[in-house]
Structures are given as C-alpha cells and as structure tokens.
Chain A
C-alpha cells in the first residue's frame, strides 16, 4: 500500500519521521502531530543519526494517535534487587537503525538498567529499577517513537522452539568441526601412498577418536526422529540417514581395529554436517514466516475494559476476566468474550462470526457473539463465560485437533523413503551374503562393500533435495508477502484442485468503503478532517477515503451520535438534523448555510478479486463461494468476481461440512477465509490461506497468511508451490539416478572413501543448484 501511495505522489515530499508521502498541505515536513512529536523526541535525545540510517518501509513508524491503553505493570517480573524486567513484542522493528534508536532512547532514561532489542524475534527486553508501573511509561516512550508494542506472549513463539533451534545449531557446529578435522586426516591417508602401515593406523585411530563422539552427539536429532518414526510405525528419511551413518561408523571402527586400508569416518561426519546445515537453513526460513504470523497475532491480542465497582473502567487482560464481569465496549472495538447486552441497543458488525456484511442491531438482554465489532455507540455488556470456557476457546481447541490430523500428512520425501530404504538395505544385505558365502571372504571384509553401498546410497542428495527447495521457495514467497508456516504446506498447496472462498473480508475488503455520492471534494476533505478525530469505523473509512485531509484540533465527539466542531456536525441523521430513516451505513455532514450531505459506505470487492479468481481457474482449480451472508449480496459479489458456483446463508458448521464432503469425494480443496466462522473449514481443508487483516483464529488455522493486500498473491503462490514441487521431483530423480550408478560400483567393491566423498558432495551440489531455481519469479507473478 505504501508503494502505491509513493507512486502516485511525487517522492520528494516525505514525512521527516516516518517517511510517508506528504499531502500538499503538510505541517512543516511532518504527516501528523505524532511524527512531529517523535522527531522532536529523537532530536532531543541526540539520536538524529537514526534518520540517515533508517531502512524501514515508509509510514511504518507513524505513532498511533492514541497512547496504548493496556496496563503492562502486572506483566513486569520482579528481580532480586528491586528491579523489574518486561518482555515485549515490538512491531515496526525492521532495521538495524530501529533497534539502535529504540535501545538508546529507552536506555537514556536514568532508571533503565537494561534495554535489549532482538531484531530477529522483534523482542524487546526492558529492565528498570523502581515501581512496576514505570513499565507503562517506557512502553509509552516506545509508542511515541512509532513502534507498536504488545506483550510478549506464548502466541509469539513456542517456548521449546528456541531450544530446538539451539540444539540443531550446536549439532551443526560439532558435525562441521568433526567433518573438517577428519577430512584433514583422511586426505593424508588418501594421498599418502608411501605412508607406513603404523602411521596409517595412527591416523585411523585419530579419526576414530574424533569421529565416534561427533557421530554420537551430532547425529542425535536424526536418531531421535528416526526412533519417533519407528514408534509410529513409519520409515522416514531420518531412519535412512541414521542407519547409513551408524553402519559407516561401525564398519570404520572394525576396520580401524583390524588395521584395514580405509575408514569412512569422514563420510559419516560430513554427511551429518551437510544435512544439519540444510535443516538449520530450512528451520530459519520457516521460523521467519512463523514469526511474522505471531507478530500479527500478538498485535490483535489485548485487553478489555472491565467496569469496576465505582463505574471506573480498568484495562484487564482477556484471560483474567471472570464470568459476570461488566465490559465497556468502545466504538470500533472487538468483543473478545461471550456476553449479553446490559441495556440500550448495540450495532455490531458480525461479519467475522457470521459473514453478514451489514451490521446487525441487538436489543438489551440479547446474547452478543464473541468476535463481533462494535459499530455504534459504546455499550455495556455482561460476560457470560470466561475466556477459557467461551466459544472462541472452544473453537481454538477444535482447530488444534484438526491441526494435529493435518500433521499426519506424509510428505513426498518420506513416501520415496518408504520403498527406497527397504530396497537399499536388501541390496546391501545381498552384497554382504554374496561376498561372504559365495566369494568366500571373511565376514569382516565382506561387510566393507555392503556398507559402502549403504554409504553411497545414504540419501544425502535425497535428504537435502527437499529442504533445499523448501528454503528457497519459502524465502521467495516471504519476500512477496506470503507467509508459509507449516512444513508440508507447499506440497499441499501445489496439489490443490479446487478452491472454496469466503466472501466478507476475503473477496471483499471486510470493512466499509466510501461509495461515490453527490458531495464535492472540498466537502469530503472537511468531513475527513473531522473524522480523523474518531475511532468509529465509519469515521475511519471516511478518513481513509481522503488521506490528504489535514488534522483539525478541537473536535468534540458525542458518543453514539457524531462529531462536532463549532457549528459543523458529522454523524448520524438525527444528530445532523436530517429527518427520515438511515438506510445502510451513512454519515451526514451538516455545515452552517448548506444542506446536509450524505456519505454512504459499503463493503467493496477487493480490487483484484476477479483477477485472482480468474488466476485460480487458469491454474485448473474450480472456484466456489460459500458465505454466511444473505443471497442477494452473495449473488452480486459472485457475479462481479466471476464465480458461478455460490451458496448463501451458510453456517460455520455447513462450511466445514462442505469441505469434508469435498475431501470425501477425493478432492483436495484450498480454503480461503478470514473469519471466525471460516476457522473450522480452514483447519479441515487440504490447504488453507487467510488474509492478514483476518481474525486471529483464522490466521492460526490457516497454512498460509497473505500479507500483501491483494489476492493475486494466492494464484502466484500456487505457481511457486508447483514449481517447487517440480524441482523436488527433479531433485529426487537426480539423486536416485546417482544411486543407480553408484550401487553397482559399491557392490562390486570398487568404491573407496574418496569416491564416496566425491559422489556425495557432487550430488548434493547439483541438487542445491537445482533448488535455487525455485526463487525464480513464475512467469505471470505480477499479472
């Protein structure tokens, strides 16, 4: 969106703080008062160098109009010497200069003892002496600089994730150390044809001394996964790797003891090093995507205003609100708990829970659906269930179950391994039996060609073939705004054969957009200026429609009615003195000496929805539309987007049932949806995607999150996934071809450790080079 804004306005006028393009009547080089304040703050601290090194997207660092309302004090952990530490997730922390600015600005406070920001995980660790409530001021400081701050929570990252990554990195370091040092010895043995037998034995013992502990320790991730696979009754890639490595090590040890000519410690350790490197890179790429999803989720999490005894609202984390508490739901706020309306009427946008595009009105005593957004005046509601017992938590548990079922998907590598491993081991066993029983060698020497066969076929190329493609493809998609968080998502995406789409918030924007009307552009600008003072969804939509409108001071908001500045009014029909009913979503502008004008709003189709649907169809996917909305609205959207198969008034359970029916018919449905009502269908689908402005439940359930505003990213992602699958198949073919050549040589006893090393390295390099093609833009990416 920023890129678009930048294209349409000359680039020279940019905000001095956040870099956003400036409207013509800018206020002294700044886009808003927040940026002006932030710039003054930065300059006052002597941190101007930030602006010369800033490398963030334009407009990201624009401070929010309102200070964060959440109370961070209960989250601060007390230390031993009266200090407190607080862990935060910081959005907008995207470049080295941002890290520096944030750390220096916070550390400049005299009582701060620790301020450390992590650019990879976007985590800020704060430590200070003094009261816990001081944390709120430090958070406010970060917010004034333009960073959006949320509590670091379990949603950000699973706790064991870090430990797992550290173990892999440690194993890689050890394996790399072993491989390099053993190779040094091995090369001496290979070229040292005049080496005495005693020296050679010494060399082999040296290699064994390094090799045994390295294979034992660095191979642990593989052994563990192989055992887990066996327990589940499955042969996986790690089993093949483990068997190959352990066989090579055992045979080398026996050769060392008997003073044989060759050992294979170098093959075993460099194989481990290579595979671990692939695994570390694979993990890092996926973790980056998962981190971005977690960031979206953490920003959605938050607190609710609970009314205390004296009628004072206290911001409380959602999990701590008991049933029976009274909530104050402000305009534009999302209801996060099941509740009933206490009094008056409420106008709620239920598009996330039912798919209806028009807001619905609720009377006192009616149950309000969790997940709806308040479109009217602030209302008071009584909580009927605590968060853990509520409908959203029940949905979350359902998704978890569905997600586990999806985890049983067997990827292509493991399918190949399923027949490859038995074949290879049968060949190795036959080789051993032939040399031992037929050719009459002693068993220890007959073992050598058999293990050599295991080593050259040890699926080095095969094991690296898939991670290599995954790393490149997931990285390429990440750069284009598609976040892939699941390991098998690409493979499932490539094989999808029909698409089920949601309407509200998915094909459409999911929020009100200003319709053309009979107002003049000057009236729009004045109305938008007023609207900037409010958080009401319609006021926000109006402000979005005219970004260039200046901010005006002194606007007064009358909750539930409208905004007033002097004699100018913006708000409901009654508030502006217009008689008659108020069809749909309308704001009226009443100015002295002029007739009131109406600004009408509606949910609009995304700009590229039709193109995306056509793109999906061009890829051979049948497209259908399932919506909870009423038939006329769905029909209109389906016609505009070019979809012939559509159904209206579909409940969440019916959506899930439709997906199950498709799967039962042998289809592989791709589900695209954003709402709470889509979450079950998303979790059940063969593969699923959610836009990044969707609800947190939908994003958790989906395999892909589309971060770019346009839906065209989806067909493009399918093209990338299909290209990646083609490359994976090529890579598997390449490494199987290599094996077909190497196995006969090994069985006949011609393979030396040198040859094995050359075969292993060259097959891996070819496979990796082939994988790099996955980042190539598929032809019609921009279309």
Chain B
C-alpha cells in the first residue's frame, strides 16, 4: 500500500496537467471551429508567399 502514496498523486497530477491543457486549448480558441479544424489538416499551405516584414 505504500506505493499508493506516490502513485496516486502522480496519477492525479497527470490528469490535472491534461485538464490544464484542455483549458488552455479552449481559451486560445481551438474549440471555435471544430468542422474547419477537421478539414484543414487535409490541405497544404501554399509555400510561395513570403512573410511580410513587420
């Protein structure tokens, strides 16, 4: 049972990190367009355009 003292907090911590990841993704707008994101991965960007200098 001693191992529980270590393992339980570790498991909880990993879960908590995942929760933080989810909250970050939500806040940065990644859940705004689920249909678009699902399709976007299938297409390549055009490589030609140069980034304009700021």
Contact = CB atoms under 8 A, between A and B. Distances in A.
Of A46, A108, A121, A173, the most chain B CB neighbours within 10 A belong to A173
A29 to B, nearest CB: 24
A45 B48 CA distance: 10
Interface in B3-40: 4, 8, 11-12, 15-16, 18-19, 22-23, 26, 31-36, 38-40
Contacts, number: 83
Interface in A86-123: 95-97, 99-100, 104, 107-108, 110-111, 113, 117-121
B26 to A, nearest CB: 6
Given A108-B49, A113-B52, A129-B52, A53 B11 contact: no
A334 to B, nearest CB: 33
Contacts of A180: 15
A111 B52 contact: yes
A89 B12 CA distance: 44
Given A170-B26, A173-B19, A206-B12, A110 B1 contact: no
Interface string A259-282: 000000000000000000000000
Interface string A58-101: 00000000000000000000000100000000000001110110
Interface residues of B, number: 31
A665 B5 CA distance: 71
A47 interface: yes
A99 B19 contact: no
Contacts of A169: 26, 31
Contact of A100 (B32, B40, B50): B40
Contacts of A210: 12
Interface in A155-195: 162, 166, 169-170, 173-174, 177, 180-181, 184-185
Interface of B is mostly: helix
A53 B42 contact: yes
A199 interface: yes
A97 B44 CA distance: 11
A616 B39 CA distance: 41
A196 interface: yes
A49 interface: yes
Given A47-B46, A170-B23, A181 B15 contact: yes
B12 A96 contact: no
A119 B33 contact: yes
A97 B1 contact: no
A121 B33 contact: yes
Nearest to A101: B43
Given A166-B31, A181-B11, 9 more contacts: A99-B36, A99-B39, A99-B40, A104-B45, A119-B36, A174-B19, A177-B16, A177-B22, A196-B1
Q: Which 9 A-B pairs have the closest CB atoms?
A: A96-B39, A119-B36, A100-B43, A118-B33, A119-B35, A177-B19, A173-B22, A120-B33, A181-B15
